[in-house]
């Protein structure tokens, strides 16, 4: 009975950590929104595809969302530097968001990240299949040589 009672407790531990991690993330985001509203607004707008990807992607580790986010974050560096260099206020952030080029670049980067996340496994599959075929061909050639050398008489 004691062992059985310990099992659910042990299985519940990661779920508890995830819950606390989500709570921590929420705290950080809340703090960011509260303490740096302009940054939060700018990032939320520029990384909107990544936020959507995080919501949609249910795969373990959210690989597509991760790729989209990383590429989108690379496109956010410039606008963030511009925000910080121009007063770091809500008006500047709004002004930057009004620039379609800035938003377009960021969302295009997110799209590129999605594209890479979708195409890379396909390309990888093609590469692995090609490697397998080449290996099989080499093995068959070796097998034929061995059979020719060690086969029974008359064959």
Partner 1 sequence: MDWAGGGLPAFGASGPGAGGLPLMAVQAAARHPPRAAVLGALTAPLDGVLGPLAHGPGRGAAGEAAYYVICPAPAGPPLGAPVRAWTEAALLGQVLRPVATALEQLDSLGVTHRAIRLDNVFHVPGQPVEIGAAWAAPPGLRQPALFEPPYSAMCIPSGRGNGTIADDVYALGVLLVVLALGRLPLDGQSDAAVIRRKLAVGSFAALVGDERLPPLIADLVRGMLAEDPEHRPHPSLLLSPVTVRTRRLAARPAQRAQRPLVIGETEAWDARTLAYALAAEPDPGGQALHGGAVVHWLRRGLGDSTLAARVEDAVRHRQAGADDGQRSSAAAAAAMRAIALLDPLAPLVWRSTALWPDGLGTALADAQAGDQAVIGALTEMTNLEAAGSWESVRPERSDAGTLRSAARAQRAWLLGHNAGGLARLTYSLNPLLPCASPLLAGCWVAGLADLPAALEAASWKVDRKNVAPLDGPTVDFIAARSERRLDVQDAADAREAGAGTQFGAAHLRLLVHLQARHHAAPLPGLAAWVAAQSDPMIGGWESRSRRAAIAGHLLEIAQTGYLAPMLSVIEDPRGRIDDSAAAQRAAAEMAGIEAELAEIASGGPARADAAIRFGQEIAAGIGLTALAAVLVAAALG
CA distance 47 to 94: 15
Q: Judged by CB, which is closer to partner 1: 17, or 145? A: 145
Cβ-based neighbour number of residue 117 at 10 Å? 19
Interface residues with partner 1 (CB under 8 A) are 61, 63-64, 66-71, 73-75, 77-78, 81, 109, 113, 116-117, 119-125, 127-129, 132, 135-136, 139-140, 142-143, 146-153
Q: Kindly tell me the burial class for residue 46, based on how many C-beta atoms sit within 10 Å of its own C-beta (0-12, 13-18, 19 or more).
A: buried
Q: Min. distance of Cβ 112 from partner 1 in angstroms?
A: 8
Cβ-based neighbour number of residue 108 at 10 Å? 14
Q: Min. distance of Cβ 3 from partner 1 in angstroms?
A: 34
Q: Judged by CB, which is closer to partner 1: 12, or 137? A: 137
23 Cβ neighbours under 8 A, 6+ residues apart? none
Q: Judged by CB, which is closer to partner 1: 32, or 116? A: 116
């Amino acid at each position: 009975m004691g062992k059985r009672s310990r099992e659910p407790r042990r299985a519940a531990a990661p779920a508890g950590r995830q819950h606390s991690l989500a709570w921590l993330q929420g705290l950080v985001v809340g703090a960011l929104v509260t303490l740096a509203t302009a940054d939060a607004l700018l990032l939320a707008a520029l990384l909107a595809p990544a936020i959507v990807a995080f919501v949609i992607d249910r795969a373990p580790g959210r690989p597509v969302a991760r790729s989209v986010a990383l590429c989108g974050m690379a496109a956010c560096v410039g606008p963030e530097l511009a925000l910080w260099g121009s007063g770091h206020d809500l008006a500047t952030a709004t002004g930057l968001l009004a620039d379609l080029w800035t938003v377009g670049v960021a969302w295009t980067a997110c799209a590129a990240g999605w594209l890479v996340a979708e195409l890379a496994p396909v390309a990888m599959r093609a590469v692995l299949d090609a490697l397998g075929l080449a290996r099989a061909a080499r093995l068959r050639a070796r097998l034929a040589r061995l059979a020719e050398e060690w086969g029974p008489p008359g064959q």
